[in-house]
Amino acid sequence: MHDWYPWIAEKLIDSSTYLSVKLADMPDPGLPTISGWTQAISSIVGHDHKALDATILVGHSVGAQAVLHFLASLRPGQQVASAVFVAGWWDVDEPWDSIRPWIAHRHDYQQIISAAKSMHVLLSDNDPFTSDYAANAELWRSRLGATVHLVPKAKHFNGAVEPAVLECLSLVAAEV
């Protein structure tokens, strides 16, 4: 685990006696596959109605796409409390081979909308992978009705400490 994941888990666990945090070791992070990553989320989260109802999913970059695929896989009536997409994207400026299938896939937006009570996206105005942050933000809003949080100069949210992510998750957890 790298980036802000261990830090955020520690902060979230310290802030609540009722919160369970699970960090996912995604399979083959250098070559992420839609089926592999969606199955990994499914294995951790499961499909129990009651558990899903209290679940906040967080996906970073391609992990945001994996969360979208997981939400699309839920049966009608199954719903998570919230999904938070950090450095979420629909396209990247210069796609590489392992990312192309994620970009090419067409989602069932209505299924995704019905699978999460709320959706939040954190974007930066200087993300090196998605330079047109305004267009990206508009796609999140128009496709999913997501609440977009613009964080100036956050790049791709790869720091060991990302206070904006903690702030968003604290806001979302308070709503659950």
Q: Give the 3-state secondary structure of residue 147.
A: strand
**Residue 18 has what pLDDT?**
57
Tokens at 119, concatenated: 């959706």
User: Count of residues for the chain?
Assistant: 176
Site of tokens 């105005």: 125
Site of tokens 């685990």: 1
Site of tokens 């699978």: 115
CA dist 74 and 110 (Å) reads 12
33, part of any domain: no
**Strand order across the beta sheet in which 56-60 lies:** 56-60, 82-86, 119-124, 147-151
125, part of any domain: yes
User: Tens digit of pLDDT for each residue in 59-108?
Assistant: 999 999 999 999 999 999 999 999 999 999 999 999 999 999 999 999 99
User: Tens digit of pLDDT for each residue in 105-163?
Assistant: 999 999 999 999 999 999 999 999 999 999 999 999 999 999 999 999 999 999 999 99
Q: How many CB atoms lie within 10 A of CB 4?
A: 21
Q: Determine what percent of the chain falls in helix, strand and coil, rounding each to the nearest 5.
A: 45, 15, 45
118, part of any domain: yes
CA dist 124 and 134 (Å) reads 10
In the chain, the number of structural domains is: 1
37, part of any domain: no
Mean pLDDT, rounded, for 37-58: 91
108, part of any domain: yes
CA dist 52 and 49 (Å) reads 5
User: Tens digit of pLDDT for each residue in 12-24?
Assistant: 888 775 577 888 8
18, part of any domain: no
**Residue 174 has what pLDDT?**
86
Q: Which domain holds residue 114?
A: 5-12+51-175
30, part of any domain: no
Query: Is pLDDT at 1 greater than 60 in this prediction?
Result: no
User: Tens digit of pLDDT for each residue in 23-47?
Assistant: 888 999 999 999 999 999 999 998 8
102, part of any domain: yes
Look up the pTM and report it: 0.95
CA dist 61 and 90 (Å) reads 10
- Identity of the amino acid at 161: V
Q: Give the 3-state secondary structure of residue 166.
A: helix
The enclosing domain of 80 has a CATH number of 3.40.50.1820
